[in-house]
A and B are shown apart, each in its own frame.
Chain A
């Protein structure tokens, strides 16, 4: 799980162009949205694309995102349980 969390942090930094952020700067237990990284709705859409592209997970219900994107750890746990690639 810790390896997946680190990989996710690196992917998030890359796809969201968080140039000045290092993986260690992201608290895996902190909310992804609303504070901290300052992500916006476009970033949320980009994370949904990331999940499908890299892990084969297609979110059918957008409301799921609210739960899954609570934190990097939540996201990692969801991916670990649902990934198809």
Chain B
């Protein structure tokens, strides 16, 4: 897929209302007698029909919690969700269980990380696909079976009729993920969230699954949210990227701009730690210092400051509540940093060939 093409789609769709609008979304986990944990903190983004955005960050940065909050799949107790999530204009935060169940699987669907544990081991693939069709499209058993076979065929599962009668453990990892994708696409959802859909798969299968997702989303007008820690996935698939750290978005940019000119030191660090084909053999990868656990509260300035090479005194503040703000940073870009990178951290083409696709 050429960039010009995807940009063309977006221009064409620019006038359309976004499918998903997330505004100031916050998720707080609370436990009795303990200080709560702010997993997601004032996250805002929107996705237009046919657009693919990436939510990128390390484990624990809040990207999965964001997606679960959008789907309304967070447990009811011990979780406070604030802000606003609108699907085609309909508010989802605070919506009732009945409303959400009507939307989930039909208008918004999700593909999960580990296809084996995400499928019920004691129920056939056929039942797990048809149950969506029966629930949302009111099909009877026979129609649903026909449609399910079609769906499996569409996602590239050979001999779909036989597969319908099989159990998840009888399928390969890639086939399981295809089956999960088939389930999520059963009702042609307006919004598809894919939470690290390739992490549990072999590298060769990863590429196939990403290709499949791109084909399925392209032209159907489905808005796709890719949640990933893998910049290779972003490079191959996303139009727009939101980088998250410690529950907040720290940088937003078009994919090309982000790879060509990362501004936040964290984004720069992520790019520098991607293995590249054009560096000499034996060159060590450049990791980001420390781990996500080293994050400090945003109220003290910048959560990334303890791990940041560009950090200066004004990144940390003595006065609580003066978080570094997310500000406009050129056309189509936003940045939460006082001392952004001036140039790309690595010379030459941004990353592996993926970025140019």
Q: Do A and B bind each other?
A: no
